[in-house]
Amino acid sequence: MLKTLITQRLASLGNLPADDVTQGDRARDAGDWAGAARGYARALEADPGKAPIWVQLGHARKEQGDLAESEACYRRALAVDDGDPDTHLQLGHSLKLQGRRQEAIDAYLIALLRDPGLSAARRELEALGIADGDLAQVLRRSSLPPAGPVRGMATRIFGGTDVAAGDRARDARDWPNAAFHYARALEADPGNAPIWVQLGHARKEQGDVAGGEACYRRALAEDDSVADTHVQLGHALKLQGRREEALDAYFAALLRDPAFAAARRELYGLGLSSTDLVLALGRGSVQAARQPRPPRLPRALLTLNGLFNGDQRPDGNGPPVLLEHMVRLEPGAIGVYVDIQCVPANELPGNVMVTLAADGHVLDLVAQESSFGPHVYTWRGACASPGDYRFTLRGDLGAGALVRYAEISLLDPASPRIAPVPLFEELTAPSLGEIKNLIIGTTGVCNASCIHCPTNKLAHTARTSSDMPMALFRSLLEQIRDNRILVEGHISLGLFGDGLTDPHVVERARLLRTQFPDTPLHVNTNAAAYDPARHAALRDFATLVAVHIESLDPERYARLMQPFRLKNVLPKVHRILADMPGVAGITSPTHRENLGELAAIRDHFTGHGVRLPHFSRLSNRCSREDMYRELSLAPAAGTCNQFAAADLIVDWDGTVLLCCNDFQRQEPIGNLSTTPLLEILGGEKRRRLFDILRTGRWDQSATCRSCKFDCHHKIPELVRDRLASA
Ligand code: SF4
Ligand code: SF4
């Protein structure tokens, strides 16, 4: 074959000095390589542009043992004509004989690319350790290389096949092989950051976590803009117990991609609170968030909010005492800010006054004009002697009025304004990348009409409510997924209705469990609609099925949880508890009517194998003022801060609300059936309510204005006492 090719090519040479070529051929055929070389060299002196004669001279030199010279001849031939696969093949042989494996692979590879049927080149490559499968991939993916220097091309290409081989091994969880191939690929291309990450995974999976860490760091040295690489480094550090460094790595990921749910999840998992995270984002590092900030003015010295102040105490020294508290004052300008929640809003209190006194010394406080509305009272004074002062607030409050907020602050003497100091200054805008709790009104229908609950008593419920269409439900989940929004807290189904009246509750729970495998899922119910055949499957998807029951006394139960009868519902409650061990729990709002029953409720249900019932705080749900006043034990005004705006609350028809206490849906911030989720989360309405909460201007929100909850100190105390004394 080779001889035929040579004969054909020589026949085409036409104008070569025939004698020299003929002499060279004769010498070659006789095995006289020195004579052959002389003939071919003379011919090339006369015409150096004839590639086939350079090839012949190369053979003669090679046979003479002069490999470097033969290589030079083949390269001269290729400089004249780079398209001949056989010349590349010959060059490959020469290089191989010189022990230059990588360059030989280059040459054979190019020979094969120019003639994929050139079996000699294929055999040589296989002999040099290039697997048939890898070769097939290269041939499929590669086009003919351009003329000119090709050194390193095979390295690059076979580096690629090492990546492919590494990926295959990785997918088969064959970590040693994956590490081998990735390492070889990196020898060829050490600047390939993604492959350093892959090598890091392979090392980590083999138990070499420190080796994995080194690879991730190397990847970051090449390219530190990829959030996921920082997360991988965080994992390696976490596995080595280096919590602080892991926190930094996860946080670096979040700085590069604020919507990176995995990074947030890890940060929370390592104990960072939402507040820490806000501080860290504001200050640019987790460690900086830990450092106390230098004190700035204005600065709160005492903050009282959401506290029970119903024990109004006349003492003969003026209007009744509403609040009393000790506060340590510092020298400087002092401001006092008092916000009274009035329900109805125009029933203002009378004679509101404050004193700050220590050791018989009373601070001089001058009332200031307030720009916050008639329900806000402000005073200014100056503290010359630091020490512990008694703060006393007095006033004549109407029946529905409460002290919503009281604050004493160190003022900037230059500023005439006395305003609440924002509690979390760094959190200045609502997040789009995460929500705290996802509360879904999968149904607006409830089969009960509990006396203190607005459900079935307000226009939007009862006759007009329904179940959330599955298409809308799916769209909500898809938008959360597609926008990579992290649900940091729990998901709950029900909202203003009973979770089990929703015909799709199990299907929804299944979908949620698939999309959010680690997120707690709560279903709220009064148990009356429980059907084991339909609902028992919830135990596989929900983490809590919270059964609402307010009394074990038949008459009281009938009055509180109308129109149910205990004898009909209690067996269903028991059945849920039996069907869903570890998942079902009892929740019982605590109020005047059932306070005496708490121990009996606890004993009854713990006797059925459930954990301690959750004795929750009663709320007026921003609407049931009458019943709330009747039942409440320790009323306090709702005074959430801006973190409350982190929940996502979607009612059955797509209405998005800021707060799940907004039973009357007075302040929708959008509707998911008409507006994309991200637009709602970034919308002006959400922003406005967020700012109201951030700056403590609750009176400017229709729901917050009248919101009441029982005191978060007083109720746990009462519950504890009642359970302990039973
Ligand atoms: S408190 Fe719960 S069970 Fe009672 S009416 Fe309201 S939603 Fe229904
Ligand atoms: S209405 Fe909601 S956000 Fe406003 S104070 Fe009440 S619970 Fe908080």
> How many C-beta neighbours within 10 Å does residue 324 have?
13
**What pLDDT is attached to residue 180?**
87
Sheet holding 584-590, edge to edge: 614-617, 584-590, 544-548, 521-525, 491-493, 438-440, 648-650, 655-657, 668-671
- pTM exceeding 0.75: no
Q: Distance from the CA of 583 to the center of ligand 1, in angstroms?
A: 20
Segment of 97-106, 259-268, 580-589 carrying the highest mean pLDDT = 580-589
Q: Which residue has the higher pLDDT, 498 or 261?
A: 498
Q: Distance from the CA of 707 to the center of ligand 2, in angstroms?
A: 6
**What pLDDT is attached to residue 365?**
95
Q: How confident is the model at residue 14 (pLDDT cuts 50, 70, 90)?
A: very low
pLDDT > 50? residue 345: yes
Which whole number is the average pLDDT over 676-686?
94
**What pLDDT is attached to residue 3?**
42
Q: Is 586 in the pocket of ligand 2 (CB under 6 A)?
A: no
Q: Distance from the CA of 669 to the center of ligand 2, in angstroms?
A: 14
Residues with a CB atom less than 6 Å from ligand 1? 446, 448-450, 453, 455, 498, 526, 548
Range in 204-213, 305-314, 532-541, 580-589 with the lowest mean pLDDT: 305-314
Taking CA atoms only, the protein residue closest to ligand 2 atom 5 is: 638
CA distance 428 to 231: 26
Q: Distance from the CA of 220 to the center of ligand 1, in angstroms?
A: 54
CB 86 within 8 A of CB 58: no
Q: Which residue has the higher pLDDT, 308 or 538?
A: 538
pLDDT > 80? residue 690: yes
Q: Is 640 in the pocket of ligand 2 (CB under 6 A)?
A: yes
CB 496 within 8 A of CB 446: yes
Segment of 79-83, 253-257, 642-646, 685-689 carrying the highest mean pLDDT = 685-689
Which whole number is the average pLDDT over 555-568?
96
Residues in the chain: 726
Range in 128-137, 193-202, 541-550 with the lowest mean pLDDT: 128-137
Which token pair is 295?
């004190």
Phi, psi for 594 (deg, rounded to 5): -115, 5
Q: Which residues have a Cβ under 8 Å from the Cβ of 147 and sit 6 or more positions away?
A: 82
List strand residue ranges (DSSP E) for 360-467, in order: 361-362, 365-368, 376-383, 387-396, 402-410, 434-435, 438-440
Which whole number is the average pLDDT over 307-334?
88
Q: Is 696 in the pocket of ligand 2 (CB under 6 A)?
A: no
Q: Which residues have a Cβ under 8 Å from the Cβ of 510 and sit 6 or more positions away?
A: 541
Taking CA atoms only, the protein residue closest to ligand 2 atom 8 is: 640
Q: Distance from the CA of 690 to the center of ligand 1, in angstroms?
A: 28
HEC string for 229-256: HHHHHHHHHHHCCCHHHHHHHHHHHHHH
> How many C-beta neighbours within 10 Å does residue 97 have?
14
CA distance 181 to 134: 12
Atom of ligand 1 nearest to the CA of 454: 6
Q: Is 704 in the pocket of ligand 2 (CB under 6 A)?
A: yes
Q: Closest ligand to 627 CA? A: 1
pLDDT > 50? residue 215: yes
Q: How confident is the model at residue 417 (pLDDT cuts 50, 70, 90)?
A: confident
Atom of ligand 1 nearest to the CA of 453: 6
Query: Over the stretch 175-205, which tens digit does the pLDDT of each residue have?
Result: 988 998 899 888 878 888 999 999 999 999 9
N-to-C CA span, the chain:
106
Q: Which residue has the higher pLDDT, 149 or 54?
A: 54
pLDDT > 70? residue 124: yes
CA distances from residue 547 to 8, 557, 601, 636 in whole angstroms, order as listed: 94, 14, 13, 26
**What pLDDT is attached to residue 133?**
64
Q: Is 319 in the pocket of ligand 2 (CB under 6 A)?
A: no
Instruction: Tell me the β-bridge partners of 42.
Output: none
Taking CA atoms only, the protein residue closest to ligand 1 atom 6 is: 453
Q: Closest ligand to 692 CA? A: 2
Range in 178-192, 415-429, 598-612 with the lowest mean pLDDT: 415-429
CA distance 112 to 135: 10
pLDDT > 70? residue 136: no
Q: Distance from the CA of 497 to the center of ligand 1, in angstroms?
A: 7
Q: Distance from the CA of 393 to the center of ligand 1, in angstroms?
A: 37
Atom of ligand 1 nearest to the CA of 524: 2
Q: Which residue from 453, 557, 572, 591 has its CB within 8 A of the most atoms of ligand 1, so it is best to mutate?
A: 453
Single out the residue of 223, 227, 219 nearest to residue 251, CA to CA.
227
Q: How confident is the model at residue 457 (pLDDT cuts 50, 70, 90)?
A: confident
pLDDT > 70? residue 273: yes
Q: How confident is the model at residue 672 (pLDDT cuts 50, 70, 90)?
A: very high
- Give percent above pLDDT 90 in the chain: 62
Question: Please, what's the b/e burial string for 378-411 (b: 16 or more CB within 10 A of its CB; e: otherwise)?
Answer: bbbbebeeeeebebbbbbebeebbbbbbbbbbbb
* Sign, Cα dihedral of 183, 184, 188, 194: negative
- With residue 154 as reference, give the H or E element that holds it: helix 153-171
> How many C-beta neighbours within 10 Å does residue 294 have?
5
**What pLDDT is attached to residue 705?**
92
In the predicted model, what is the mean pLDDT of the chain?
A: 88
**What pLDDT is attached to residue 147?**
37
**What pLDDT is attached to residue 142?**
47
Which whole number is the average pLDDT over 529-546?
96
pLDDT > 60? residue 461: no
Q: Distance from the CA of 196 to the center of ligand 1, in angstroms?
A: 56
pLDDT > 80? residue 110: yes
Q: Distance from the CA of 225 to the center of ligand 1, in angstroms?
A: 50
Tokens 């006043």 sit on residue: 629
Q: Cα torsion for 256, 258, 259, 264, to the nearest 10°?
A: 100
Taking CA atoms only, the protein residue closest to ligand 1 atom 4 is: 450
Bridging pattern class, strands 648-650 and 438-440: parallel
Q: Distance from the CA of 547 to the center of ligand 1, in angstroms?
A: 11
Q: How confident is the model at residue 15 (pLDDT cuts 50, 70, 90)?
A: very low
Q: Which residue from 446, 614, 619, 663 has its CB within 8 A of the most atoms of ligand 1, so it is best to mutate?
A: 446
* CA 346 centroid distance within chain: 44
**What pLDDT is attached to residue 580?**
96
Atom of ligand 2 nearest to the CA of 622: 1
CB 482 within 8 A of CB 430: no
Range in 63-67, 426-430, 570-574 with the lowest mean pLDDT: 426-430
Q: How confident is the model at residue 132 (pLDDT cuts 50, 70, 90)?
A: low
Q: Which residue has the higher pLDDT, 77 or 466?
A: 77
> How many C-beta neighbours within 10 Å does residue 132 have?
10
Atom of ligand 1 nearest to the CA of 525: 3
Q: Which residues have a Cβ under 8 Å from the Cβ of 149 and sit 6 or more positions away?
A: none
Which token pair is 608?
């059925």
CA distances from residue 26 to 6, 35, 51 in whole angstroms, order as listed: 13, 9, 19
Which token pair is 52?
């086939």
Single out the residue of 422, 357, 367, 421 nearest to residue 395, CA to CA.
367
**What pLDDT is attached to residue 7?**
42
CB 286 within 8 A of CB 394: no
Q: How confident is the model at residue 464 (pLDDT cuts 50, 70, 90)?
A: low
Q: How confident is the model at residue 295 (pLDDT cuts 50, 70, 90)?
A: low
Atom of ligand 1 nearest to the CA of 452: 1
CA distance 281 to 274: 11
Q: Which residue from 525, 526, 560, 622 has its CB within 8 A of the most atoms of ligand 1, so it is best to mutate?
A: 526
CA distance 703 to 688: 13
Q: Is 689 in the pocket of ligand 2 (CB under 6 A)?
A: no
Taking CA atoms only, the protein residue closest to ligand 2 atom 2 is: 659
**What pLDDT is attached to residue 474?**
96
Q: Which residue from 439, 703, 712 has its CB within 8 A of the most atoms of ligand 2, so it is best to mutate?
A: 703
Q: Distance from the CA of 269 to the center of ligand 2, in angstroms?
A: 27
Taking CA atoms only, the protein residue closest to ligand 1 atom 7 is: 497
Q: What angle do CA 210, 216, 219 make, to 5 degrees?
A: 145
Phi, psi for 713 (deg, rounded to 5): -95, -45
Q: Which residue from 669, 691, 693, 704 has its CB within 8 A of the most atoms of ligand 2, so it is best to mutate?
A: 704
Which whole number is the average pLDDT over 270-283?
78
Which whole number is the average pLDDT over 42-64?
94
Q: Which residue has the higher pLDDT, 245 or 163?
A: 245
Q: Closest ligand to 690 CA? A: 2
